[in-house]
């Protein structure tokens, strides 16, 4: 892939065209934002992908969360439905609950987010009643596409300038996104969605090893 990301518009174009874009390097060379970013906006005083990710998620230009091997990725609106269909395996969160497939901590976390949508992660951690195992529960729910990052909020200094890494604003995906973005596309099975994602990514990254790409998407 031939991308050079020096602006938010460049990043949006890559997300729209590739569909699923990990933030950091993966075992598939050339797939991530990190590998295509202009070094002048990577860990510098200029705005870069760290600052762009919040507005992109908040404006629903894409979906952002831990979607690739427990690490963060951008997913275009076009491809999020396929990813959700694959990861959820046809289950709504309520259906998983009914069949006893949801770990206790995951249920507590989702219960809190359903009562208090779009809440800072640190507040969710305080409010859902447990801290040990919180990160693991949150990562599972993001990987299953039930929870997404809706925005990032920053501390500000005495001059009103934001600083630091920013705290993620969490929301249940079904509360944040339109129903159409979470429905099984055209009645496809989860396996069909998976194969469609693989085929698309192979088309935009013909040099990628297919076996490794499949492992990254599982």
Per-residue pLDDT of 193-213, as tens digits, reads 999 999 999 999 999 999 999
- The answer as to whether 1 is a domain residue is no
Q: Give the predicted TM-score (pTM) of the model.
A: 0.94
- The answer as to whether 50 is a domain residue is yes
- The answer as to whether 83 is a domain residue is yes
Structural domain of 108: 8-217
Q: Where are the beta strands (DSSP E) in the chain?
A: 20-22, 63-68, 71-75, 119-120, 147-156, 162-172
Say how many C-beta atoms besides its own lie within 10 A of residue 163's C-beta.
Answer: 10
- The answer as to whether 93 is a domain residue is yes
Token couple for 96: 């998983």
pLDDT of residue 44: 81
Pairing state between β 71-75 and 147-156: unpaired
Dump pLDDT digits (tens) for 36-67. Answer: 999 999 988 788 999 999 999 999 999 999 99
**List of residues 6+ apart from 28 with CB closer than 8 A:** 205, 208, 209, 212, 213, 216
Domain count, the chain: 1
- The answer as to whether 3 is a domain residue is no
CA atoms of 126 and 134, how far apart (whole Å): 10
């Amino acid at each position: 892939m031939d991308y050079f990301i020096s602006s938010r518009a460049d990043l949006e174009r890559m997300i729209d065209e590739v569909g699923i874009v990990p933030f950091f390097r993966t075992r598939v060379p050339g797939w991530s934002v990190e590998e295509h970013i202009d070094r002048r906006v990577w860990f510098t005083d200029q705005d870069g992908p760290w600052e762009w990710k919040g507005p992109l998620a908040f404006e629903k230009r894409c979906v952002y969360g831990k979607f690739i091997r427990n690490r963060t990725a951008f997913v275009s609106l076009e491809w999020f439905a396929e990813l959700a269909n694959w990861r959820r395996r046809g289950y709504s969160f309520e259906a998983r609950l009914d069949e006893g497939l949801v770990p206790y901590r995951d249920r507590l976390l989702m219960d809190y987010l359903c009562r208090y949508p779009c809440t800072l992660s640190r507040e969710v951690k305080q409010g859902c009643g447990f801290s040990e195992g919180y990160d693991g529960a949150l990562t599972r729910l993001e990987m299953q596409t039930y929870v997404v990052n809706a925005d990032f909020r920053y501390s500000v200094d005495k001059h009103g300038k934001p600083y630091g890494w920013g705290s993620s604003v969490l929301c249940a995906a079904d509360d944040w996104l339109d129903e159409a973005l979470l429905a099984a596309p055209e009645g496809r099975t989860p396996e069909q969605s998976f194969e469609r994602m693989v085929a698309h990514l192979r088309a935009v990254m013909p040099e990628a090893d297919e076996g490794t790409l499949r492992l990254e998407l599982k």
